[in-house]
Structure 1
Amino acid sequence: MLLLLVVLCFGQSALSLPPPAQKFHQEPRASKVDWNAPRPGHGGFLAKRSGLHSAEFFSDPPRPLLSTAAVDHAPQDSDPWTQKRATSGRWENLNGSAAWYQAPVSWGGSRMDLYQMGKADKRCQHKSWGSSSASNNNNNNNNNKWTSWEDLGGTFASAPAACSRKKDNNHVFGSGTDGQCWHRTYNSGAWGAWQAMGGAVQHPPSACSWGKDHAAVYVSSATDGQCWHRRYDEPPASSKTAPSWGAWEGLGGYLDGPPKAVTWGPDHTSIFCKGQDGQVWHKPYGINTTTTTTTTTTTTTTTTSKSAWGEWEALGGSLDGTPAACAWDGRMDVLAKGSDGACWHKTYKNTTTAVTAWNATAQANQTTVTTLPKWGSWENLGGKLKDGTPPDVVAVDGRMEVYITGDDSAMYRKTWQNDKWSAGWEAMGGSVDSKPNAVAWDGGKVDVFGTGADGSCKRCFS
């Protein structure tokens, strides 16, 4: 009897233990398929098909939303559990009803816009904070106050994406329930109509702008997993060419999730994604190499710019979800939830090598210094992320902030500044079910958003 009791107790204890974490594979691995091989045709991405929504259907007149009252600055979340756990972060309940995570964007100054997909009707919802230089009937000229949630129409299959090219401008993208990409523009206080962009899209899109004359959207193909993109270019005012969207361009790859596009400035974009082999992949546009040659009498500096797409490169890792990334000050950082549940980090920055050799022609030693971007090794930042919630990252004013949703549904922050990480993860409190989504705005402030268990939008600020 005693032996049976011991066996039963041992069995119960063993079953109650968490399963062992999977190892995070840091080294890049050879793919079974060639990510950079040209593909004939379009793989079905541009194929004509029936059942597509019309612009009239997608731009159905706005409907009244629940919880539409405007919210004044910084009322605290009424959830006592949220307040009980809050430490470094202050929380605000923006209400609404979201099915996915939010897409925050700022065009600078004290203006911030927020987009989400409605939980019940799948329509695009919008809320803004701060002033616009032009007002309209949608109450966009609000000073130091949140607007009501605004119904922008549409019928989405996943979370929207947004970017801003300049002041008083937003581009909003979404994957429609008809499978194609849809787009709507806000310019100088007025919304344009929804525009069907075509394609066969799987997963949420990613939007990116490197300046006032450029915007682009990146998607994952529902037919063959390839990454596709369309770019918008606005010619100089002196040009007679009208601004327009280019055609879809296939960028190759075999994606298992949405792409993430980032930029550190004009003529640079980098795409990150989780590949179908589980590791992180990266594709750059516009990377520079600088070489400086010095002799006893002269110094010559040559910068080689590649204003074209580079090849996909495997960065290693074993991911559980979509990678996050940021580009700033000539460097890039990619963050991911590993298969072990921890947050992992990898950095791309310039590295300098110097080679000195005798130059017979100049009869002097010649030193050649080459500055070449290079990826570092994966770094384990720790943490225990909630299932289905990859991290997010934002860089501003010489610092980088990483946010995660912990397995206790609270939000946590880790900061890189002055070439070092903050000690441990800083508890921000809160109670959210979604991944965090951060935005830098208003002179270096960072706000983070997440979706509560009831679908309401939660804002964290400090």
Structure 2
Amino acid sequence: MAQSTLLTALLVATSLVSAVKNGSITAVSWGSPRVDIFGIADDKTIWHKFETGYGWEPNPGFEKMNATAFGYPVAVSWGPNRLDYFHIGREQSAHHKFWDGTAWKPDGKYSERLEGEFTSGLAVNSWGENRLDIVGRSTENNYIHKAWAGNDWHPSITKWEDLGGNFSSAPSIVSWGPGRLDIFGIGAEDGSLLHKYWNGDTWIPSDSWESLEGGDFVGDPLATSWGEGRFDIWIAGKDGQLNHKFYAAGAYQGWEQMGGNFASAPAVVHWDVGKIDIIGQFDASDDTSYHSKAWDGQNWYPGFDTWFDKGGDFATQPAVVVKKGKNFLYVTGVDQAGKLQLQIFDGYNWHPAGDSYWPLGDTKKPYHIESDNSFVVQGSLDL
């Protein structure tokens, strides 16, 4: 069960980009064919749309989550019929709502307030059933941490563990398996990348952060893992190039620059061991399309420092979901007109085409029928 839930947790690459804090989206899957997408509407309500295998619901429009969010949505799943959704509220504290397979909890318009006061998005991870880890940057620019271990929040529902540091970016966290958690962030002093990890018993380093050097970095980093003993770090340099470093076989490989023109790390997913897909939006006023590249285990396509142009006219960074074990990708984003757009790769071809998208609804007018305090039925699928 631990391995399957870990893979589920690794299905999603989520955009947490400060520049689009009220326009960013998050996508997650608890297993094929399920995909859930969340975002924040202009009125600060949270919208939700989901694929069950029989089409996107609700149709038309979106489910209204009856919560007020002021940025940084993020969703994770530790297994079938379970969703956990987090956002930053009006008072800059963390809020949480979850789907338990039959209903959203807490009931109605309420969410669970986890306190804290944050100046960036939350990074959330699940390494297995009944485990959640949350890390965010506080008003003092240090990182703070809270964990759900099955019965209670630790250190408590209102308190957070101080991990120290002085950061200019939101954190990124990743787990390659139960008991392991790696945290990365950009240091405020020199723009280098800093790292700390939980080994199952203690934080290492215990009272400081390991410098992975590099830099001068900008935006927010992203960490990913395709399996035990391996993680990859993705981060934008001041020159806009995507920087990459990875840890494997007990050692780090040096930084490499992979071209592009990014203001923050793009979305990165692994559909299997040794496979990498990268999709992001360049930082240019005259280029609002998405760009991509892929690693097949031996070569980068279209090239090490070149990128495919995937078209579109987007206002947000993409949220990307993959089917584990299958070269099947869902690419979603909100365009300049506020329409949620979808593109799919089936292992052979992009649909509807490599540079075009299907519309899934208008996020500026998201609610076809005003909802009350009840919610659209999620559809508990036996996957």
- TM-score (ref. length: structure 2): 0.72
Which 4+ runs in 1 deviate beyond 2 A? 87-90, 143-148, 319-322, 373-377
CA RMSD of aligned residues (A): 2.9
Aligned twin of 2:104? 145
Aligned twin of 1:244? 202
1:211 to 165, 177, 182: 177
2:360 to 420, 428, 431: 428
Aligned twin of 1:409? 338
Give deviations 1:135-162, integer Å, cap 9, x for gaps.
xxxxxxxx34343311001010111110
Cα pair distance change 1:181/1:103, threshold 3 Å? same
Between stretches 203-212 and 90-99, larger displacement belongs to 90-99
Q: CA deviation at 1:169?
A: 0.4
Cα pair distance change 1:99/1:179, threshold 3 Å? same
CA distance in 2, matches of 1:157, 1:219: 14
Cα pair distance change 1:426/1:192, threshold 3 Å? same
Q: CA deviation at 1:89?
A: 5.4
CA distance in 1, matches of 2:349, 2:134: 35
Aligned twin of 1:128? 98
**Is residue 2:269 matched to residue 1:326?**
yes
1:342 to 289, 307, 313: 289
**Is residue 2:192 matched to residue 1:192?**
no
Contact 1:411/1:428, CA 8 A, preserved across alignment: yes
Between stretches 96-105 and 149-158, larger displacement belongs to 96-105
1:422 maps to a residue whose letter is H
Q: Report the secondary structure of 1:110's partner residue.
A: coil
Aligned twin of 1:453? none
CA distance in 1, matches of 2:268, 2:169: 17
Q: Percent identity?
A: 27
Q: CA deviation at 1:101?
A: 2.2
Q: Report the secondary structure of 1:210's partner residue.
A: coil
Cα pair distance change 1:333/1:201, threshold 3 Å? same
1:173 to 112, 135, 138: 135
Cα pair distance change 1:375/1:308, threshold 3 Å? farther
CA distance in 1, matches of 2:212, 2:70: 30
Aligned twin of 2:253? 310
2:240 maps to a residue whose letter is G
Give deviations 1:83-103, integer Å, cap 9, x for gaps.
9xxx95532111222222211
Contact 1:405/1:432, CA 8 A, preserved across alignment: no
Give deviations 1:186-216, integer Å, cap 9, x for gaps.
0112101210000001121111111112111
Q: CA deviation at 1:267?
A: 1.1
CA distance in 2, matches of 1:381, 1:183: 37
Q: CA deviation at 1:376?
A: 3.7
Contact 2:119/2:138, CA 8 A, preserved across alignment: yes
2:219 to 231, 250, 257: 257
Aligned twin of 1:105? 76
User: How many residues were matched structurally?
Assistant: 297
Aligned twin of 1:54? none
Structure of greater Rg: 1
Q: Report the secondary structure of 2:85's partner residue.
A: strand
Contact 2:41/2:363, CA 8 A, preserved across alignment: no
1:342 maps to a residue whose letter is S
Give deviations 1:385-427, integer Å, cap 9, x for gaps.
11xx212212124211111110011211111112221123011
1:173 maps to a residue whose letter is V
Aligned twin of 1:226? 192
Give deviations 1:211-239, integer Å, cap 9, x for gaps.
112111111111111111111112xxxxx
Contact 1:320/1:390, CA 8 A, preserved across alignment: no
**Unaligned runs of at least 5 residues, structure 2:** 1-36, 49-54, 367-374
**Is residue 2:243 matched to residue 1:273?**
no
Q: Report the secondary structure of 2:296's partner residue.
A: strand
Contact 2:218/2:263, CA 8 A, preserved across alignment: no
Q: CA deviation at 1:105?
A: 1.0
Cα pair distance change 1:179/1:395, threshold 3 Å? same
Cα pair distance change 1:432/1:164, threshold 3 Å? farther
1:232 maps to a residue whose letter is W
Give runs of aligned pairs for residues 361-372 of structure 1, distance below 5 A.
Answer: none
CA distance in 1, matches of 2:149, 2:335: 38
Contact 2:293/2:300, CA 8 A, preserved across alignment: no
1:391 maps to a residue whose letter is P
- TM-score (ref. length: structure 1): 0.60
2:86 to 110, 115, 130: 115
1:199 maps to a residue whose letter is G
Q: Report the secondary structure of 2:313's partner residue.
A: coil
CA distance in 2, matches of 1:152, 1:309: 35
CA distance in 2, matches of 1:89, 1:224: 46
Aligned twin of 2:347? 418
